[in-house]
Amino acid sequence: MILYLLIIIGSIVLDQLTKIMVVQNLDLYETTMKNPILSITHIRNEGGAWSIFEGHMWFFLLVGIIALCIFSYLLYKNRYNNKWLTVGLSFVIGGTVGNFIDRFRQGYVVDMFQTEFMKFPIFNVADICLVIGVICIFIYILFFDEETNNK
């Protein structure tokens, strides 16, 4: 269980530290480290990916609380079943909390990583953790979940 707590806490701390560094060192909409792959751009996102549901902070807070309850329950229930599932759930919880902190404190999420080689929403460490978590959960479902694989 300590590994999963470290993943959750590490995800939250890394997310919050990168956001603090960006806010302290870049003006809003300022870009730095621009190269063909990635640049750092300080933005405030009041919505989800591609700014969907922009301005509906309470929706995201409510969904965040519900998601945290569900994923925390699943992590506790399955903590000894499979590492792919529990690591995935840990990353999802860490990413959810990271963005939840921003939305609760500020009403928006600080995003900073911008891909230069394709049109993609600007994202942050919490978003990266969410994606890693979902990939781990999909690996579990595709290769290790007996219910899914016995159908």
* Catalytic residue numbers, as ranges: 111, 127
Strand order in the sheet with 109-115: 31-32, 38-45, 109-115
What distance in Å separates the CA atoms of residue 58 and residue 74, rounded to the nearest whole number? 24
Please name the residue that has the structure tokens 């460490």.
125
Structure tokens at 54: 């922009």
- CA pair distance 145, 78, nearest whole angstrom: 12
Asked if 25 and 112 touch (Cβ cutoff 8 Å), the reply is: no
